[in-house]
Structure 1
């Protein structure tokens, strides 16, 4: 057991572990948003529709904050962005605890969304900065595990605290966020090197000359996406013209759309089958338990394997798990399907994060993380919108469409793998050359 723990967690820097600890503290205490809609309806007199609109301002703030966090991560640095994010979150949570007018609560929810989401690009960029490429799969696997362990703890504590005091719920959340901010201020140095501030035209800064499919070599034999452009935007424009990266983001969005069915459409399907809310709770609990118990073993299964193949298998499992719901009408079948789609999610987490880190140029890591992280709020909006219509008009065939989507995304990952690998090799060569010059 000791040897397994050493293999799983060893070789990562102290800075990484301080970041990891802060993330875990933050997620365990991050329960205010989980009960925000219930707080609004039961304590502030908001109607269901009104509560939905107010909670929606948090999501809008999250979109803005993710982009802002990516830009600031590259311009200010990782540490300063993390500190501003955490301390602004503390202020927003404390104000929410004592604010009663609904318009003011809506404004604070938007501020909270901005402040909390700013941290995600900075966290990931800092982890990339301090973790060698060969250890990033392990680092991101542990990060994913901490996220889910923290969310499981938050879900448990939130129910207990809500019975005691909603005001206390906001204040304890603020205290946990403050603890993370203090830990970062005390122990986490700035990981952004000065050389990263001045992006120069490079072999991977844009892909405007790539063929539209982004899966083949250029006509002159240069791998798609690795040709040197005449100019480099050096900002979000670079990210938004990087076709190989955008193909990867698009496939991640498909994966997120599939997996978000579990929290948006599955409960509707279970209700239609006559199953109780507690049955859905059992499905959620099983998925969380699998991740907490099994995620640490995933690196041994996927180390040394090509990431495109791992992601293809993950998407197949995601799709197969939801496709099985076409014949599910009892809790046992739902639980079996949940095991399948959760295994797919567990397999996908490390290579997704690792590829995201590998495709980001040094000077633009924050912006690349921001665009990548936009897939999750986008999926949170699209999955219920499209999935609800699919379930209503297609019935159980909706789940077969989800399965086919998973299979298609798996095939696209296999096609996109070789160009991604060539891009990563080009970035590593240039990064190595920059390091040698420095």
Structure 2
């Protein structure tokens, strides 16, 4: 990675500034400094939501163990939840841009809590399937609104830190959820859904109490998308026909396909090598521990480098990590490969989210987020479908194909970087100045210096 001085949207002086104080204070500032109070309330809501969002992880077990459903029927119901998620992402993006970030977040969480209570009390499999579909919709709706609200309130040169902390909170919450879910499922599946509903209600209450609406009328009417047709109102079609954005979405889809290998195809490869579920659990646990312990150190490593270079390196690390499985045959080798691809995932998270935010016109931020988030359900379908066929047909050479795909994507990031930066600069010139009323709402005026919270 070559050093970038004066990266687009980041004043050079701010790139090199180092706060006074000891190493610990400098690390805290680099990791979490200059972020407004509203971001921290959003961050806390995300953490609470993820830590409590565990009921659907055990949906298939609940259906087969407590409701006497067949494995085939359980698969259909879980599939309905996934289909609802794809629809919910798009619906959440449209509502967050039209209705507002806060309103969308509060409404989605309140409806989800009610649906969880209904799931806990329902016994008819048809009703449960319908509720699972609706939960899929409402579970996915907050994702674009969360990110759009963060972009609204966090200054551009601090967004890398914000997205790094968001990724960390998401993984920490999922780790907590996995532990709590196992304990609750042993005691009562009904309690699993009810505690999930309570955590979702707590998130809704926190957002309703502490998070102001970050989408102002001025922002809604400001700066149409670059290249949008004057005769047609900008909308989802604008994102879908945005060449720079869709190239980036395509590369993110490749990254998602790579990361999905760990949860879909790798367990099959480990079983073929004579390694049981406990070995797979150790590999997954190692990845989670690395992210929880190491993600907070990522900003200092990447802040002064071009985002395209960071993404090129991170995608190459994913390619090397999974490609190494072509010669893996014991647990230590799998653990070593896991370290490589997890570092790649950690490096990719902040610039990936920041570029996604930078490419979105202010009036369409949540819609762009919704299109971006579609890459993950798409990858979760394609990775196991094609990956299983590939592993069966070509064996360990499957991992060499994955490595080649990742290395091609890494090169594409480097090639697309300069054009992408020019597009971001063009969009930024069209953006309005920060609205003083919004700055006051989040407790931070644009003229005030950044402070550590």
Give the TM-score, by structure 2 length: 0.89
Tell me which residue corresponds to 2:202: 179
1:68 aligns with 2:57: no
Structure 1 moving runs of 4+ over 6 Å: 433-436
Q: Is the 8 A contact 1:200 1:234 kept in 2?
A: no
* 1:313-358: CA deviation from partner (whole Å, max 9, x where unpaired): 0110001100000000100110011111111000000000000010
Residues of 2 paired with 1:276 and 1:69: CA distance?
A: 40
Query: What is the deviation of 1:164?
Result: 0.6
* 1:54-97: CA deviation from partner (whole Å, max 9, x where unpaired): 00110010011000000000000000000111001001110000
Residues of 1 paired with 2:168 and 2:435: CA distance?
A: 32
Query: What is the deviation of 1:198?
Result: 2.4
Q: Partner of 2:68: helix, strand, or coil?
A: coil
* 1:165-189: CA deviation from partner (whole Å, max 9, x where unpaired): 1100100000000000000000000
Query: What is the deviation of 1:311?
Result: 0.3
Runs of 5+ consecutive residues of structure 1 not aligned to the other structure: 207-228
Task: Check 1:31–1:411 CA distance in 2 against 1; reply closer, same or farther (3 A cut).
Answer: same
Q: Is the 8 A contact 1:29 1:177 kept in 2?
A: yes
Tell me which residue corresponds to 1:135: 158
Residues of 1 paired with 2:231 and 2:290: CA distance?
A: 48
Q: Partner of 2:234: helix, strand, or coil?
A: coil
Q: Is the 8 A contact 2:222 2:432 kept in 1?
A: no
Summarize the alignment of residues 202-351 of structure 1 with structure 2, pairs less than 5 Å apart. Answer: 202=225, 204-206=226-228, 231-351=231-351
Q: Is the 8 A contact 1:199 1:234 kept in 2?
A: no
Q: Is the 8 A contact 1:205 1:361 kept in 2?
A: no
Tell me which residue corresponds to 1:212: none
Query: What is the deviation of 1:403?
Result: 0.2
Tell me which residue corresponds to 2:422: 422
Tell me which residue corresponds to 1:217: none
- Tell me: higher relative CO, structure 1 or 2? Use CA pairs within 8 A at least 6 residues apart: 2
Tell me which residue corresponds to 2:364: 364
Q: Partner of 2:275: helix, strand, or coil?
A: coil
* 1:392-427: CA deviation from partner (whole Å, max 9, x where unpaired): 001000000000000000011011101110011011
* 1:263-286: CA deviation from partner (whole Å, max 9, x where unpaired): 000001101111010000000000
* 1:205-250: CA deviation from partner (whole Å, max 9, x where unpaired): 44xxxxxxxxxxxxxxxxxxxxxx5545411111111010000000
Tell me which residue corresponds to 1:146: 169
Query: Alignment RMSD, CA only?
Result: 1.4
Tell me which residue corresponds to 1:393: 393
Q: Is the 8 A contact 1:74 1:364 kept in 2?
A: yes
Residues of 2 paired with 1:91 and 1:415: CA distance?
A: 48
Tell me which residue corresponds to 1:220: none
Residues of 2 paired with 1:191 and 1:239: CA distance?
A: 21
Residues of 1 paired with 2:58 and 2:25: CA distance?
A: 39
Residues of 1 paired with 2:320 and 2:376: CA distance?
A: 21
Tell me which residue corresponds to 1:406: 406
Task: Check 1:199–1:236 CA distance in 2 against 1; reply closer, same or farther (3 A cut).
Answer: farther
Query: What is the deviation of 1:5?
Result: 1.9
Q: Is the 8 A contact 2:223 2:432 kept in 1?
A: no
Residues of 2 paired with 1:393 and 1:64: CA distance?
A: 33
Tell me which residue corresponds to 2:64: 41
Residues of 1 paired with 2:227 and 2:118: CA distance?
A: 42
Tell me which residue corresponds to 1:113: 136
Residues of 2 paired with 1:121 and 1:230: CA distance?
A: 26
Query: What is the deviation of 1:201?
Result: 4.3
Residues of 1 paired with 2:310 and 2:32: CA distance?
A: 21
Q: Partner of 2:305: helix, strand, or coil?
A: coil
Q: Is the 8 A contact 2:223 2:361 kept in 1?
A: no
